[in-house]
Amino acid sequence: MIEVDLLDVRFGRGPKAVHAVRGVSFKVAKRETFGIVGESGSGKSTVLRVLSGLLHGWTGQVAIDGKPQGRKRAKAFHKLVQMVFQDPFASLHPRHTVDRLLSEPIAIHGLGNADGRIARALDEVGLGREFRFRYPHQLSGGQRQRIAIARALILEPRILLLDEPTSALDVSIQAEILNLLMRVRAEHGLTCVLVSHNLAVVAHLCDRLAVMNAGTVVEEMPVDRLRTGTPREPYTRQLLRASQGYDRKVVETFG
């Protein structure tokens, strides 16, 4: 469904250029969920932004649903691929009602039956009809993220890109959103790419994952290897140990 081959991204020019992504390749099969884990600056979000068409100026090959993608994406692409962002406080227009936020993609793609679609989308993310005419500031963080998911799903995409979808939320709300994502993924037969710094969140949702560090993929593995605590690369093992709480002895090994 998604094929990325030798993706390279540089920001800036000359000696100050930042080589953010260095020769990253991976494939995601239909209905599979692929995770990308890494620390800040590892290039994980940059990869996702290239996939979604938000970033230009990359080199390498990206094919989605068998079609090679260039700089400019067709309108049909955005019906196929949708994205949910990290911060639901920043990704929803503060002066648009939920109704307007959800009807805009319908109008752009000329889908019709906006009323029915919006009602269904709100139902799907577990929000009642009463949310339809509210503004984002009248919603909690979790409710906003539900609206962001509804907005992504309203075009009935087949690929969902998730950029740290729960890291701005409290754990109890994170649990609700993770459950919701698992449900809609199964109901819509979605192919997903999830970017996160949280190993447990990635392990929870994904089938396979890639660990990125300094722009390169350090290790690609099935999620089982994370579960059994047997990653091969030292970097991944360090990340795993660090995510399992504070241990004075473990910290000494970080150097």
The single-letter code of the amino acid at 28 is V
* Dist CA 59 CA 160 (whole Å): 23
**Is 59 or 230 the residue whose CB approaches other proteins more closely?**
230
Q: How far is the CB of 220 from other proteins (least distance, A)?
A: 18
Residues paired with residue 193 on neighbouring β-strands, in sequence order: 34, 161
Task: Kindly report the number of other CB atoms within 10 A of residue 168's CB atom.
Answer: 18
Residue 228 CB, shortest distance to other proteins, in Å, is 9
* CA 145 to chain CA centroid, nearest Å: 13
Q: Annotate 216-235 with three-state secondary structure.
A: EEEEEEEHHHHHCCCCCCHH
Tell the smallest beta-carbon distance from residue 75 to other proteins (Å). Answer: 35
Query: Which residues contribute to the site for other proteins (CB under 8 A)?
Result: 39-40, 141, 170-172, 174-176, 178-179, 182, 197-201, 203-204, 223, 226-227, 229, 238-239, 242-243, 245-248, 250-251, 254
158 close to 190: Cβ distance less than 8 angstroms: yes
Q: Which is nearer to other proteins, 98 or 240 (CB)?
A: 240
- Closer by beta carbon to other proteins, 6 or else 200: 200
Residue 107 or 251: the one with the smaller Cβ distance to other proteins is: 251
What angle separates helix 141-153 from helix 114-124, to the nearest 10 degrees?
Answer: 130
Shortest distance in whole angstroms from residue 217 CB to other proteins: 18
Closest distance of CB 43 from other proteins, Å: 14
Nearer to other proteins, 95 or 227 (CB): 227
In angstroms, the Cα distances linking 241 to 137, 171, 177 are 38, 20, 26
Min dist CB 242 to other proteins, Å, is: 4
CB of 240 to other proteins, least distance (A): 8
d(CA 157, CA 80): 4
* Inter-residue contact 55 to 9 (CB < 8 Å): yes
Q: Roughly what angle, to the nearest 10 degrees, separates helices 141-153 and 171-188?
A: 10
C-alpha distance across the termini of the chain, in Å: 40
Considering beta carbons, is residue 42 or 191 the nearer one to other proteins?
42
Q: With respect to other proteins, which residue has the nearer C-beta, 122 or 177?
A: 177
